[in-house]
C-alpha cells in the first residue's frame, strides 16, 4: 500500500466503526470543556468524568469558580491527580476570563495557550470540540497509533501532529482525531493489545511493531 492508500484505509475503516462520534469528556459549554480538558492531563477521561459533575454543580462558569479559593477547588479535584497545579490553573484562568474576556472562552489558540495550565493540546481540543475550528489535538492514543500505523516516526507529539495534519484532509480533522482516540482505546491499547482485533494495524502497521507483537506472544 502507498501512504495515501493507507490513509484512505484508515479513514474508511474508522467511518465504518464510528459513524457517530461522541466527545469523551462530559461538558455543557466551552468553559466546562476547557476545565475538563485541563483536568484530563495525565488522568483518564473516566476519572475526570467522575469529578466534573461535582465541580460543575457548584461552578460551571468563571464567575462562580473564582468565588472558591484554590484550596477549595483542589479539595474537589484531588482524585484526578496533579491537583495543586490544576486548581491554580482553574482559578487563574477563570479570573483572566472575567478580567479580559467578559467571562467567555476566546476562540483563539494564542489566547487559550496564554492561560495558566493550558498547553497546545488543551487549546486544540477546545478550538475543535467547542468551536468547530479545524485542529488535530494529539493524545497518547493518537501518538501511539500514528507510530503503529507507520504514519509518523513517534519522536514526539509535535511531529505526530504535523504528520497527521499533512496526511489527513483538514475538513475531517475534528471527527478523525476523536475516531482515532476511540479506536485506540477499544482496539489498539498500549496494554493488553490483541493485534488480531486491531484490523488497521494488522493491515497497514509498521512491520517492526507487528513482528515485536508476535515475538512477545511466543516468549
Active site residues: 121, 139
Q: What is the number of other CB atoms lying within 10 angstroms of the CB of residue 98?
A: 16
In sequence order, the 6+-apart residues with CB closer than 8 A to the CB of 64 are 58
How many angstroms separate the CA atoms of 95 and 103, rounded?
A: 8
C-alpha cell at 72: 477549595
CA–CA gap between residue 152 and residue 150 (Å, rounded): 6
Q: What is the DSSP code string of 165-197? A: HHHS-GGGHHHHHHHHHHHHHHTS-SSS--GGG
Torsion sign across C-alpha atoms 188, 191, 194, 195: positive
Which residues lie closer than 8 Å to 53 by C-beta, 6 or more apart? 26
Name the nearest CA neighbour of 136 among 176, 93, 191: 176
Say if residues 109 and 165 touch (Cβ distance below 8 Å). Answer: no
Amino acid at each position: 500500500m502507498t501512504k495515501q492508500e493507507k490513509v484512505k484505509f484508515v479513514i474508511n475503516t474508522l467511518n465504518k466503526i464510528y459513524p457517530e462520534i461522541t466527545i469523551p469528556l462530559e461538558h455543557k459549554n466551552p468553559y466546562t470543556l476547557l476545565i475538563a480538558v485541563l483536568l484530563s492531563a495525565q488522568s483518564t477521561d473516566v476519572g475526570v468524568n467522575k469529578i466534573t459533575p461535582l465541580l460543575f454543580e457548584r461552578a460551571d462558569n468563571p464567575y462562580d469558580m473564582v468565588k472558591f479559593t484554590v484550596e477549595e477547588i483542589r479539595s474537589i479535584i484531588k482524585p484526578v491527580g496533579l491537583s495543586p497545579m490544576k486548581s491554580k490553573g482553574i482559578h487563574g484562568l477563570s479570573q483572566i476570563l472575567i478580567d479580559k474576556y467578559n467571562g467567555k472562552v476566546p476562540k483563539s489558540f494564542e489566547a487559550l495557550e496564554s492561560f495558566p495550565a493550558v498547553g497546545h493540546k488543551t487549546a486544540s481540543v477546545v478550538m475543535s470540540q467547542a468551536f468547530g475550528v479545524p485542529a488535530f489535538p494529539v493524545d497518547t492514543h493518537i501518538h501511539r497509533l500514528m507510530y503503529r500505523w507507520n504514519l509518523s516516526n513517534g519522536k514526539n507529539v509535535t511531529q505526530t501532529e504535523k504528520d497527521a495534519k499533512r496526511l489527513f484532509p483538514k475538513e475531517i480533522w475534528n471527527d478523525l482525531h476523536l475516531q482515532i482516540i476511540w479506536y485506540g482505546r477499544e482496539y489498539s491499547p498500549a496494554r493488553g493489545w490483541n493485534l488480531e482485533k486491531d484490523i488497521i494495524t494488522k493491515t497497514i502497521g509498521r512491520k517492526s511493531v507487528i513482528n515485536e507483537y508476535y515475538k512477545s506472544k511466543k516468549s
